[in-house]
Structure 1
């Protein structure tokens, strides 16, 4: 992703729960208390970009300045729902850029179980997305309901599959005319 990629910017703006491991003078404005100290153990939701920057920054003690936790979109209840039935989870309700967020978070946490679950979820959902893109059925209302549950990556996959099918039909029609 490039520096000017809007999807990357929106992904990095999503909030992650964080816990401060040290007292940090002057960072109280993050919690709505300008000029105060962020106390050890303070929990706050920070944008992904800021949480990562603070988590990897070096402190003078052995304690980390900040520890990151999984965002609500990747909590165990969501992962369990995906394991049970990947197609039933409303991915967009979890995060509009769900897969991009998962990719960024898993760069930090390196959780093989979550990676495997997300890979299987994407495979199962991609097949359904392709099916919907090629076989419009149930009318506009069903199509809108289906699209509303897709995250941005899945929507681009749907558009590519739908446009590809239209292009193939146009090509077949042009061959019949020739």
Structure 2
């Protein structure tokens, strides 16, 4: 888990995760969490909540004889079977940014909460395959500027991959400038 003050961790934890309530929660009836603001949240209601809140509800237990957690955290659709199957079939064809802006961060957080070795293996394999393509594009893209997109390729990258692209691109150009400077002197 990243540092509490890390912007990446904060943005990752702000991503939505489906949360199913186990108990009625009448105090949230006039809340932005519940779109139907006149009705309390009832058992079996599923809401997409920020990951940090969903996790807190999933580990919290009410006082008294009930021992069930307030809610259960479900796997986000970005990490569901359809996406995992698509990544297994061809990791480079999936636009991860459409799934989740911080896809790998979300995957890491969900792996902390759920023991799913198969998902971990798929995510690792996906990152490896996509990193090769990202490195190749970063070295061979002349128009990419730091912080800028280079067309359709960048639009499908999650934020981690975009940072990797920028680092590889900037590193390549820094090495080229160094070689040019040392060859003149």
TM-score relative to the length of structure 2: 0.87
Check whether the contact 1:26–1:34 (CA below 8 A) recurs between aligned residues.
no
Shift of 1:106: 1.4
The CA RMSD measured in Å over matched residues stands at 2.0
Shift of 1:109: 1.0
Q: Can you give the 5+ residue segments of structure 2 that lack an aligned partner in the other structure?
A: none
Shift of 1:34: 5.0
Residue in structure 1 matched with residue 114 of structure 2 by the alignment: 109
- Which protein has the bigger helix share? 1
Residue in structure 2 matched with residue 32 of structure 1 by the alignment: 35
Residue in structure 2 matched with residue 71 of structure 1 by the alignment: 76
Residue in structure 2 matched with residue 48 of structure 1 by the alignment: 51
User: Match of 1:32, SS?
Assistant: coil
In structure 1, C-alpha distance between the alignment counterparts of 2:38 and 2:56, rounded to whole Å: 21
Q: Can you give the 5+ residue segments of structure 1 that lack an aligned partner in the other structure?
A: none
Residue in structure 2 matched with residue 176 of structure 1 by the alignment: 183
Residue in structure 1 matched with residue 166 of structure 2 by the alignment: 159
Check whether the contact 1:86–1:124 (CA below 8 A) recurs between aligned residues.
yes
Check whether the contact 1:26–1:36 (CA below 8 A) recurs between aligned residues.
no
Shift of 1:5: 2.9
In structure 2, C-alpha distance between the alignment counterparts of 1:82 and 1:33, rounded to whole Å: 36
